[in-house]
Structure 1
């Protein structure tokens, strides 16, 4: 119970705007609960005075009262259920908004520690299904708890001695439900983990379906999926067994109490001479207790499952703080001077990505990062706009530590073209501007988009689309070729017009003709800008001001192209492998 209390306390802030719904639900449940003992109470005058007696209620009295009673009961039930559902929907809306806000502003560890399928499952599906289970369980808890109190009060009024026998089963039932509830909570958490694992296999196979089929890996993937499915099935069946065990336990306890009450009632009737109506009314009210007790015994499963799902959403909000931001916000563009001093980076699993990186980049320089895959090049450039945070050392932009910059202002100084192009389900213009660009947008905005398309050699492609700039590209631009996708990303960087340009294999998916055209556009774009280039093809970076050779997260060489070839080090060896020249060549 204390675990439930803690969880509800964490959820409560998201329901602060729904107090009226909670009040209405409580009132509806209270009115509905009060009608329960009245049904049993009507039996006493009906049996004692309604058959063959001249006094008491008229013949039509009990049926009319019964109809009115059920009408009030039905209305109260509707008010309680609708009000609580409205409250839950408002809470889910607030929680979802907070979760998505965390996706927009949370630290980068959120995306390195959780898979895309897990985040999607939690944000879209889990909080919805969890809240639905909680709504049903809470309606049952409120309604049947009040019904139980009302019926118990009526039983005490009729015969307090017999009522004590009814109360005997409640502590036993509570203890049994507590033990089963703990197990069900653990199984609910295991079920969610198993669901995430299964969803991740599906996500991987959707993203990598071409590679899976090309390498004939369908059988191994089917085996992975079957293994995860069986694990989820086992956990699910364990949860079903735990939930199902509550019913026979509660029924046996109820049957024991009913048998005891009937025995004592028959014994009392021999000496007290109580009326038949009073006895039937008592037994009816007592039997009516079985239903709310059974319902209450069954709610531990839905509450545990619902809380486990919703708490995962709350944990997403609470466990990943907002990105820290400084206050430095100069009114002009940055000059583009970068200084890295002893920078190190370790990931959450403590694996080393960068170690003791010291590098100075002058404004307007083009610096190329080269090295084998896994050398740390991409990790290094992600530190600059603070997509990752260094675990040691410091980085300065224009002499100011990155942590002191206003985060929004800092990121406006960078444009990134990555080898992993992600396009939004938006129009071509919307993908370039990274915001909606409807046809009636200001002419200057349309002109900027067109200029970026022209510079990225996409103007002819855009003109051939059915709706031109305003043609939807679909899910992740799946109708575009790899080269077209990469040129859209280049056009996006051209549109941003930031003083620092980061090119992470920006032309890797282009054919030779397109690459030459885009390289010319990039040469124009680099004028007056600081440019960081990551490239495997050394022919694209020979004219860089500084070439930085990296290996195993460290800088092992840096200098101009000719000087590095003359040094006959790692860069010269890489150059020789690509061009077939001897390492000591200066060509």
Structure 2
């Protein structure tokens, strides 16, 4: 039975082809519609349960009337059908309905529906372009992705199990009392009108305060994760007190927002308490007056009092659920800021896989700028021949890494085209493009997984032997075999910590190089690939890189110009354009920008030792 209900929804189902809408109800329907059969069953079952719940006080009232007008000897003959009806509702209908309701909630929706929303939120956000993640805290993005599913589910379930049922219960109660005497239904009808007015006043305020509280919670989560991620910097600079102030300000904002939210909640509950008190008194007074005037019998008066008492009892529970609904809605609205953003830079419907047979790369009249800033790349033309190895040279910030990011389609140029073997990369599948390009960056981050999993990320289907050979070529085997993590896992099974923090910069770099060696893509990008290595290890790895570069088109970026001397051609960039190109010797002979950079790196910028001594004196 459990398995039947648990299998009603496939939480790993492929998301709809459209992004989640940026309107609240559209966002809810985007997910609810994928399980609409289950939610319809839940509301239908809630309707039945509420009607039968209202029948119990009615039947008790009829039983009181029967007892009042029947002798003890004929009680079972007159009241027998009523007793059987009550027994059927209490012993069969209500327990079975409640169990079925809980099966739907606990086993079809609470787990699978929540997991589905989690999965689809992740699926959507992870496909955003690189710039999306560079504009926000990773912690805040993760918090919004993970926190939205539960409140979305709970707000819908609260409507089904509380708001919907009290509405049906109230409507059934008014109908039952109205059949006895319409005046008995007036206090209850008035209560619903006033309750609706109270909700109309309170709920927008609850929703707004809940959204502000959720935003403050996400903000402080982002700050805390940012601080923990950069804990080395915090400790190196001895800024713990300043960091405490920075984080405590976030907590202070969250605390203030939460206090304001609780004030609105308390006023709402207090107002409902007074409303319930007046409703009970009004219902009791109306019932007693009608009974004293011989307009209703004792059973009808009993029914009115039981129904009104039950409404008041339910209203406290519903008040809690309503506050929960709008707290959850506020959290969902805050999460929508991240989740509902449309995907950009997606594959065109006609996109096809990239096929690399030669490895020629052409930048044709390419221009690019970040936002409204100055152009980082300005009408750049560059052709890299198949198998050619070029070095990109220039001061920091002239656009070298940006050019590589455009090739990888992390960003799209505002003007111009980029071709690989004659294929415009804007017209190919993004995944197939990056499958043909291996990259080793300056800032190497590893996944918090084992060494083996990190290297195999380059080619998951590679054999153990191929993986270990890649590590050997990257001169990483020696330090890997000595590794032991906090749980006793050794060697290639040892985990590296978040972003690889348990390894030195040079060790991370060698793992990244092993990963690229294993991937063996036809185009290779080296962005300061050996910057974190000491001279001895760099010299050893250069041999491996030379082997790796054979037969590949290579783009290398390095501030250490000595590492680029063996490139086929050097491209010198300045002011968002190419200003020089040629071999190392040719550029030195030109006595231009490259020659100046080489001169400074070769010792020309160092002051004579005597001058340093004189300044120190």
Question: TM-score, normalized by length of structure 2?
Answer: 0.84
Aligned partner of 2:468 in structure 1 is 450
> What's the CA shift string for 1:161-217, capped at 9, x where partnerless?
221232123233223312322222222222232122211211221121111111111
Q: 1:300 to 1:436 in 2, by over 3 A?
A: farther
Pair 1:238 & 2:260 matched:
yes
CA distance in 2, matches of 1:5, 1:463: 51
CA contact (8 A) 1:344 1:390 kept: yes
Q: 1:546 to 1:278 in 2, by over 3 A?
A: same
Aligned partner of 1:222 in structure 2 is 244
SS in 2 for 1:344: strand
Aligned partner of 1:18 in structure 2 is 35
Q: Structure 1 residues 422-431 or 395-404, which shifts more?
A: 422-431
Aligned partner of 1:56 in structure 2 is 75
CA distance in 2, matches of 1:367, 1:234: 57
Shift of 1:311: 5.2
SS in 2 for 1:341: strand
Aligned counterparts, 1:245-324, within 5 A = 245-310=267-332, 316-321=338-343, 323-324=346-347
SS in 2 for 1:477: coil
Aligned partner of 1:345 in structure 2 is 368
CA distance in 2, matches of 1:511, 1:488: 15
Among candidates 201, 204, 220, match of residue 182 of structure 1: 204
Aligned partner of 2:16 in structure 1 is none
SS in 2 for 1:580: helix
The unaligned stretches of length 5 or more in structure 1 are none
Q: 1:175 to 1:449 in 2, by over 3 A?
A: same
Q: 1:15 to 1:537 in 2, by over 3 A?
A: same
CA distance in 2, matches of 1:431, 1:251: 60
CA distance in 1, matches of 2:603, 2:589: 16
Among candidates 207, 215, 226, match of residue 193 of structure 1: 215
CA distance in 1, matches of 2:277, 2:190: 12
CA contact (8 A) 1:155 1:285 kept: no
The total of aligned residue pairs comes to 574
Aligned partner of 1:569 in structure 2 is 592
Aligned partner of 2:400 in structure 1 is 377
Among candidates 483, 487, 496, match of residue 510 of structure 2: 487
Shift of 1:324: 1.8
> What's the CA shift string for 1:511-536, capped at 9, x where partnerless?
11101111121122222211111111
SS in 1 for 2:24: helix
Q: 1:186 to 1:570 in 2, by over 3 A?
A: farther
Among candidates 439, 446, 465, match of residue 423 of structure 1: 446
Pair 1:536 & 2:559 matched:
yes
SS in 2 for 1:447: helix
CA contact (8 A) 2:158 2:322 kept: no
CA contact (8 A) 2:187 2:279 kept: yes
Aligned partner of 1:517 in structure 2 is 540
Shift of 1:27: 4.0
Shift of 1:66: 5.7
SS in 1 for 2:444: coil
Question: TM-score, normalized by length of structure 1?
Answer: 0.88
CA contact (8 A) 2:392 2:555 kept: yes
Shift of 1:45: 4.3
CA distance in 2, matches of 1:161, 1:576: 100
Aligned counterparts, 1:367-406, within 5 A = 367-406=390-429
Aligned partner of 1:409 in structure 2 is 432
> What's the CA shift string for 1:114-134, capped at 9, x where partnerless?
431122112223322442354
CA distance in 2, matches of 1:168, 1:7: 31
Q: Structure 1 residues 510-519 or 111-120, which shifts more?
A: 111-120
CA distance in 2, matches of 1:28, 1:136: 14
CA distance in 2, matches of 1:224, 1:142: 45
CA distance in 2, matches of 1:345, 1:187: 41
CA contact (8 A) 1:502 1:531 kept: yes
CA distance in 1, matches of 2:507, 2:22: 54
> What's the CA shift string for 1:451-510, capped at 9, x where partnerless?
312221123334455655444445443432221111010011111111111111111111
Shift of 1:538: 1.4
The unaligned stretches of length 5 or more in structure 2 are 1-20, 484-488, 607-617
Aligned partner of 1:362 in structure 2 is 385
Shift of 1:309: 3.4
Shift of 1:246: 1.8
Among candidates 72, 79, 83, match of residue 104 of structure 2: 83
CA distance in 2, matches of 1:215, 1:92: 42
Cα RMSD for the two superposed structures: 3.1
Q: Structure 1 residues 529-538 or 8-17, which shifts more?
A: 8-17
CA distance in 1, matches of 2:539, 2:23: 62
